[in-house]
Structure 1
Amino acid sequence: MPIRWYFDFISPFSYLHWQKVKMLPEAVTPVPIVFGAVLAACGQKGPAEIPGKREFTYRHVLWQARQEGVALRFPPAHPFNPLAALRLCVAAGASARAVDALFDWIWKEGRAADSSEALAPVAAALGIDAAAAQGEEAKARLRANTEAAIAAGVYGVPTLAFGDQLFWGNDAHDFALAALRNPALLDDPEMQRVATLPVGVQRR
């Protein structure tokens, strides 16, 4: 069963989740997407766009990283424009090496990633021309990735997807593994019932 992992470098939770995903014995295809476009398609704001929630989220992810033994240092500013990093990743074939290098640059070393100039050392280490990585081919492939993710129902990052199931968030990793190893888990009567639970009230 193909397994896809949708992510954006703007997300520190994606960085944390990647540390688990890359260790899975199953083959997983990393799919870089534009989180901002997903938010727009869903008509919602990101956590870093909401005062109060922004600060809580930053502290929460730092706490999670420390609990999981993962080094995490925030870049100079957040949120930042992740397009340069996403396009560089796409230009490098979205390989595990490229994903690792970019995540480490941004979230392990705490460096800026909002321009091709800022990412020039990473591009050089990957053997990619930094300026060429921002060309039309990389832009088109990133756009296609994002459109396909939205069409598949992705509403946040990170998301692990297999079959028609989506598992969103670093903290859903164990749930995703349980369902991957035992698909019957989702056939439980209460699991089925809540999937079609009626909406009791809608905010206008």
Structure 2
Amino acid sequence: MNAGNDATQPLWFYDFVSPFTYLLLEQHEKWPGFDFTFTPVVLNDLYRHWGQSPAYSVPAKRTFLYRHALFRAEQLGIPFKMPPAHPFESIKPLLLATAVQGDIQFVREIFRFIWREGRDPSSDAAFAELCERVGQPDGPELIKNAEVDAQLQRNTADAIKLGVYGVPTFYLNKQLFWGEDALPMVLYCARTPNWLDSKEVKRISNLPSGLAKSRT
């Protein structure tokens, strides 16, 4: 296990519960040519820290979220099948990926099990099958290691320190890029990093709020 993530290197934060993270990973051939460290985090812990409500907690937003994910998959030509229930508990595959420091092939296989085949990885039977598929048949025992859980917590805490508030998130050149639809911006900033230093970008990055902090 690592003590912490190296914030001087490109990082990619993910949680298996996110359909848009799956869609972004399926576009890996379009990513900028950096060696991103794949970093699992607990999305709900990010939400709790920043005081955010999950998108799926609002009924109309939840419906749109699932429709939009399906629409994006169809537009991109990516196989997509929602698992039988969402949200689901993603801690088991997160711990598994943490335990083996999963690379792109490993992480992508887990995402495909969930979002291409429509499987729920939280049940004991499905998780055992997933472990066999990714070559870790001892996975159900492996994730019981306290140090694995501690590493996942460190990953999430480190992400929060960097300002990460959702997944998928690229961390590149000390900047955050959130969402599947942020890929064009990531590519542009990888090619033209001085855009972020432009006068207007700096101005809007430091705008004051026009709302009172509290109302009585």
Global fold match (TM > 0.5): yes
Alignment partner, residue 118 of structure 1: 126
Conservation of the 8 A alpha-carbon contact between 1:116 and 1:134: no
Deviation at 1:116, TM superposition (A): 4.2
Amino acid at match of 2:204: V
Match of 1:56 among 22, 40, 64: 64
2:190 corresponds to 1:180:
yes
C-alpha separation in 1, matches of 2:73 and 2:213: 35
**In structure 1, what is the equivalent of residue 180 of structure 2?**
170
| Correspondence list, 1:1-204, <5 A | 2-21=9-28, 24=31, 25-128=33-136, 129-135=138-144, 136-202=146-212, 204=214
Q: Which amino acid aligns with 2:201?
A: M
Q: Structure 2-normalised TM-score?
A: 0.89
Question: SS of 1:166's equivalent?
Answer: strand
Instruction: Give the C-alpha shift of residue 107 in structure 1.
Output: 0.2
Query: Separation in 2 of the partners of 1:178 and 1:21?
Result: 16
C-alpha separation between the residues in 2 aligned to 1:71 and 1:169? 19
Q: Is the contact between residue 4 and residue 161 of structure 1 (CA under 8 Å) also seen in structure 2?
A: yes
Q: Which amino acid aligns with 1:4?
A: L
State the Cα distance separating 1:14 from its structure 2 match. 0.5
Contact 1:117 1:130 in 2 (8 A): no
My pick for the range that moved more, 145-154 or 127-136, is 127-136
Separation in structure 2 between the aligned mates of residue 156 and residue 3 of structure 1, nearest angstrom: 17
Q: Distance in 2 between matches of 1:52 and 1:203?
A: 28
Q: Is the 8 A contact 2:15 2:40 kept in 1?
A: yes
TM-score, length basis structure 1: 0.94
Q: Point out the more displaced range, 38-47 or 179-188.
A: 179-188
Q: Which moved more, 1:114-123 or 1:146-155?
A: 114-123
Contact conserved, 1:116 with 1:130, CA < 8 A, in 2?
no
CA distance in 1, matches of 2:161, 2:47: 13
How has the CA–CA distance of structure 1 residues 185 and 157 changed in structure 2, closer, same or farther, with 3 Å as cutoff? Answer: same
Q: What do residues 35-89 of structure 1 show as CA deviations (whole Å, max 9, x unaligned)? A: 0000000001111111110001100111011111111100010001110110111
Query: How far does residue 124 in structure 1 lie from its aligned partner after superposition?
Result: 1.4
- CA distance in structure 2 between the partners assigned to 1:21 and 1:120 by the alignment: 27
Runs of 5+ consecutive residues of structure 2 not aligned to the other structure = 1-7
Q: Distance in 1 between matches of 2:28 and 2:200?
A: 28
* 1:95-130 deviation digits (Å, cap 9, x = unpaired): 112101100100000001114432112211222212
SS at match of 2:147: helix
Question: Which is worse superposed, 77-86 or 94-103?
Answer: 94-103
| Residue 21 (structure 1) shift | 3.4
Percent sequence identity is: 37
The alignment covers a number of residue pairs equal to: 204
Shift of 1:134: 1.8
